[in-house]
Chain A
Amino acid sequence: MKLELDEYVHLESPLHRWDPRYKLAGLMALILAFSFVRDLRMLLPMVAATATVYLVSRLPLSFMLRRLRYPSIFVLAAVLILPFLAGQTIVLSIGPFDVRQEGLLAVLLIVTRFLCILTIGLILFGTTPFLTSIKAMRALGLPAILADMLLLSFRYLHEIGNDLQRMQTSMTLRGFHRHRLSPRGLRILAWLGGSILVRSYEQSEWVYKAMILRGYGHEPHPRDEFRACSRDVVALSVFLSTAVAFVAADVLWRYGPAALPW
């Protein structure tokens, strides 16, 4: 599993140059707006907006495709179940199973929204070094403890992954086949998971000691190292306007003009 999110931060694009704080605010607003979308007519503009931002970011397509693979497993359950359970209008019958129109449309909405939101998230972290993103979050008011937790989680995913790999290798060397599932095999995999958890806990205690030894918690004040220019503000305005437009259009389509607050 590829964990590095920021392998293309060296590229040159308007999104790479955008002040990380403004980028965080602008792209998060867009993600929030996408999560509000309920009307199917909004899907095409949503995909178009996402594709445009992705093109502007100049990130390679492979970057997105490789990273969408694993999170997509989470929506698989919805894709497999909803068409058969949600709604009344049967459009197709496969043996004893009926495929329903409402379920299909719900899947279309969920999958499109999921892919657009995830892609925007990838653009956010793919165009800014991870540490800079964390610093931008701090600058926007994220509590230090949460920022540190994020940072350490990201850092130690590698360590846990390496530990897991080493332990699996040693199990294989002693004749264990993890793909051959059996009650004993499952029990051993559970032990492996437990062992990883205990190791991570013990290591986190040592990491904390090491941080205390170098003065963790005594940092006098967080530095404000970002300098924004008018271009950053203009870009933020564009993204905020787009986000508001998405929410307003969705409300308009679904409930009519009377539902808008203005």
Chain B
Amino acid sequence: MLSEEPGVPVITVSNLWFSYPERPNVLRDVSLTVLPGERVGLIGPNGSGKTTLFLQVSGILKPSAGKIVVFGMPVVNGDFRSDMGMVLQNPDDQLFCPSVRDDVAFGPRNMGLSEDEIDARVTEALSIVDALELADRPPHHLSEGEKRMVAIAGVLAMRPRLLIYDEPSANLDIRSRRRLIRLLHASTETILIASHDLELVLEVCQRVVLIDDGRIIADGNPRDVMGNDRLMEAHGQEKPHSLLPHRFPHGKSLE
């Protein structure tokens, strides 16, 4: 069953536990449900388990215990599922082909699509991220912002219905970050975003999950969760600037 009906969860994570050989209990009894079209932000300190959770949902890591179901089908470790895509934190980990075009075509080619369809998808994905002019350039000659957009295009070209972004705004300048936010706003897919950029989460996501020490601490409206001073400070976070009372209201001179 590959359902995406309203109300039917896209992701169901039930009682998930995970340990690395050298680090036990990185995830502890995590349960999470994500509905179609939701944009969910995952926040929490470094090492809290955000990326590990994403790698479990993507089927890269096998849970120690618990179950993950995506689009009604259990996630099987090592299986390739083109209905979900993950953009890694470091775009250099993702861009390995000699040209941007080849890299964006990598996923569609593995899906067994025809050459015409692959070309169409590459053009479409590069157009969405506004990087069509980079198609013939080698990825290692791109700027950080361009690399990020090309890495996103590589995932979009598979037309996944679930998109997972791990620290998408890391190392981006203001213009590239704004471009990314516009792109995320325009997405119709279900989106999971792990980020330390709380302003981005606040701007893009309708729901936020605070995770610390492998446990889900809070799950709810971003303004409620991130606006809770005591909760945020207890878990190594800071209330986003835009939720702070402003001593100098915007638009007024400081004098």
Residues of A within 8 A of B (CB): 129-131, 151-152, 154-156, 158-159, 162, 203, 206-207, 209-220, 223
Give Cα A220 to B118, complex, Å.
Answer: 14
Contacts A212-B78, A215-B82 known; A152 to B90 CB distance under 8 Å?
A: no
> Do residues A206 and B88 form an inter-chain contact, with CB atoms below 8 A?
yes
Minimum CB–CB distance from B105 to chain A (whole Å) comes to: 10
In the complex, chain A residues whose CB is within 8 Å of the CB of B140: 155, 158-159, 162
User: Assuming A214-B106, A215-B110, A219-B109, is B155 touching A207 (CB within 8 A)?
Assistant: no
Residues of B within 8 A of A207 (CB): 93-94, 96
Cβ contacts B71-97/A at 8 Å (1 or 0 each): 000000010101001101010111011
A216 to B107, CA, bound (A): 8
* A151 with B98: CB separation less than 8 A: yes
Q: Which residues in window 168-197 of B have CB below 8 A to A? A: none
Q: Is B154 close to A, CB under 8 A? A: yes
Task: Determine how close the nearest CB of chain A comes to the CB of B85; give it in whole angstroms.
Answer: 7
Q: Which residue of A lies closest to B102 (CB)?
A: A131
B115 contacts chain A at the CB level, 8 A cutoff = yes
Alpha-carbon separation in the docked complex, A212 to B58 (Å): 10
Q: Which residues of B contact A156 (CB under 8 A)?
A: 96
CB nearest neighbor in B for A209: B60
Determine whether the beta carbon of A131 is less than 8 Å from that of B98.
yes
What distance in Å separates the Cβ of B89 from its nearest Cβ neighbour in chain A?
9
Q: A214: which of B78, B102, B115, B154 is its contact (CB, 8 Å)?
A: B154
Please tell me if B55 contacts chain A, counting CB pairs below 8 Å: yes
- Contact check, B92 vs A203: say whether CB atoms are below 8 A apart: yes
CB nearest neighbor in B for A131 = B98
CA distance in complex: A220, B111 (Å): 8
Contacts of A210 in B (CB 8 A): 88, 93-94, 96
B106: chain A residues at CB < 8 Å are 211, 214-216
A/B pair count, beta carbons within 8 Å: 77
Known pairs A206-B90, A218-B110, A219-B109; A212 contacts B96 (CB<8 A): no
Considering the chains assembled together, what is the distance between the CA atoms of A129 and B88 in angstroms? 28
When the two chains form their complex, are residues A155 and B97 in contact, meaning their CB atoms are under 8 A apart? Answer: yes
Closest A residue to B157 by CB, please name it.
A214
Smallest CB separation, B101 vs chain A (Å): 10
Query: Which residue of chain B is the closest to A162 with respect to CB atoms?
Result: B140
Minimum Cβ distance to chain B for residue A138 (Å): 13
Q: State in angstroms the CA–CA spacing of A223 and B113 once bound together.
A: 11
User: In the complex, are the beta carbons of B97 and A131 less than 8 A apart?
Assistant: yes
Task: Please name all residues of chain A whose beta carbon is closer than 8 Å to the beta carbon of B93 when the two chains form the complex.
Answer: 203, 206-207, 209-210
Check: B158 CB closer than 8 A to any chain A CB: yes
Taken together as a complex, chains A and B put the C-alpha atoms of A219 and B94 apart, in Å, by 17
Q: How far is the CA of A209 from the CA of B78 in the complex (A)?
A: 10
Are B110 and A213 interface neighbours, CB within 8 A? no
Give the chain A neighbours of B82 by CB distance below 8 A. Answer: 215
Beyond A212-B80, A215-B80, whether A155 also contacts B112 by CB under 8 A is no
Q: CB-CB < 8 A to A203: which residues of B?
A: 90, 92-93
Q: Which residues of B contact A219 (CB under 8 A)?
A: 109-110, 112
Known: A154-B98, A219-B112. 7 other contacts (CB 8 A): A131-B102, A155-B140, A206-B88, A211-B106, A213-B80, A215-B80, A218-B112
Question: Which chain B residues border A223 with CB–CB below 8 Å?
Answer: 115
Cβ contacts under 8 Å, A154 to chain B: 98
B99 proximal to A (CB < 8 A): yes
Contact B111 A218 (CB under 8 A): yes
Asked if B92 contacts A131 (CB within 8 A), the reply is no
A216 vs B94: C-alpha distance when bound (angstroms):
12
> Of A151, A209, A220, which contacts B88 at CB under 8 A?
A209
**CB-CB nearest 6 A-B residue pairs:** A215-B110, A214-B107, A206-B93, A220-B112, A210-B94, A215-B80
What are 27 sample pairs from A and B whose C-beta atoms fall under 8 A apart?
A: A130-B98, A131-B98, A131-B102, A151-B97, A152-B96, A155-B97, A159-B140, A162-B140, A203-B90, A203-B93, A206-B93, A207-B94, A209-B55, A211-B96, A212-B80, A213-B86, A214-B85, A214-B154, A214-B155, A214-B158, A215-B106, A215-B111, A215-B158, A218-B110, A218-B111, A219-B110, A219-B112
B69 to chain A, nearest CB (A): 18
CA A213 to CA B110, docked complex, whole Å = 10
Q: Contact between A212 and B60 (Cβ–Cβ < 8 Å)?
A: yes
- Nearest residue (CB) in A for B140 is A158
Nearest CB in chain A: distance from B164 CB, A? 9
Who on chain B is nearest to A220 by CB? B112
Whether A215 touches B60, Cβ cut-off 8 Å, given contacts A131-B97, A155-B98, A156-B96, is: no
Nearest-CB distance from A202 to chain B (Å)? 10
CB pair A218–B94 under 8 Å, yes or no, is: no
Shortest beta-carbon distance, A192 to chain B, in Å?
20
